[in-house]
Amino acid sequence: MFKSAIEKAVVDVLDTGSKLQAPAVRRYVAYLRERHPGENPAQIVARLEKQYLLAVTGSGAAVGATAAVPGIGTVAALGAVGAETAFFMEASALFTLARAYVHGIEPEDKEARRAMVLAVVLGDTGMAIVQKGLRTSSKNWAGALAGKVPGLGAINSSLLQQFIKRFITKRAALMAGKILPAGIGAAIGGAGNRALGKVTIENARKAFGPAPALWATPLHNVIDADPLPALDAAPVTKQ
């Protein structure tokens, strides 16, 4: 059951990731810049990391807490595992693409966005697959994905195979722990997701390097191109 839930979550997040196009990501980062005027790229990156970590930690704890409900908790938690896994990956996709945007990297092609997200979540293994597929030893593989890249279908196929294999290994025990009753699942779910979130953050730091010193585009130019949504509709992650 866990394997099928994870595989479905992988497909769901890839579909969602393909919809996270450049304008939506730009609006997300612009929203943070507008709320915190004067902050440099490194400070906004820190906010992206904090929001992402709060989001995935909260979702893990919420699923675990479901198991504490007498009589129906464990059954409900099992049903929620697939949805929570999808949320974890969707949050990872938004975080990765927003992090890339701060560096001026905006993949327009859906295959390029998928490759970037999967490579960051996988870490060294994923980055090596992309570098090999692009036939480059350059650490700027993420920047290369911003342009037209042939053969991304094959690269994504390799990434997805590795992702499912590793994701199942890392999350199977965590998912089992989340459905434990008496509140134990909430603690395991929150701590486990927080640990996985920290790994993704470290992978992103390795993939993109230090944030640029200055913004390449003034905030008013970004807002003029992609008007910000209303405050209650802003694409912020759950906290």
**Calpha distance 15→156 (Å, rounded):** 13
Please give the pLDDT value at position 146: 82
Tell me the pLDDT band of 84, cut-offs 50, 70 and 90: low
Residues for the chain: how many in total? Answer: 239
Higher pLDDT, 85 or 60: 85
More confident residue, 12 or 239: 12
Mean of pLDDT over the chain = 73
Q: What is the pLDDT of residues 108-118, one digit of tens each?
A: 788 888 889 88
**Whole-angstrom Cα distance, residue 173 to residue 176?**
5
pLDDT range class, residue 68, cuts 50, 70, 90: very low
Q: What is the distance between the alpha carbons of residues 5 and 163, in angstroms, rounded to a whole number?
A: 14
Look at residue 144 in the predicted model and tell me its pLDDT. 85
Percentage above 90 pLDDT, the chain: 25
Give the range among 20-24, 70-74, 84-88, 142-146 with minimum mean pLDDT: 70-74
pLDDT number for residue 164: 77
pLDDT in tens, 149-172: 888 889 988 988 888 777 666 555
Nearest-angstrom CA–CA distance, 90 and 55: 11
| Domain boundaries of the chain, sorted by first residue | 1-175+182-208
- Are the CB atoms for 118 and 156 separated by under 8 Å? yes
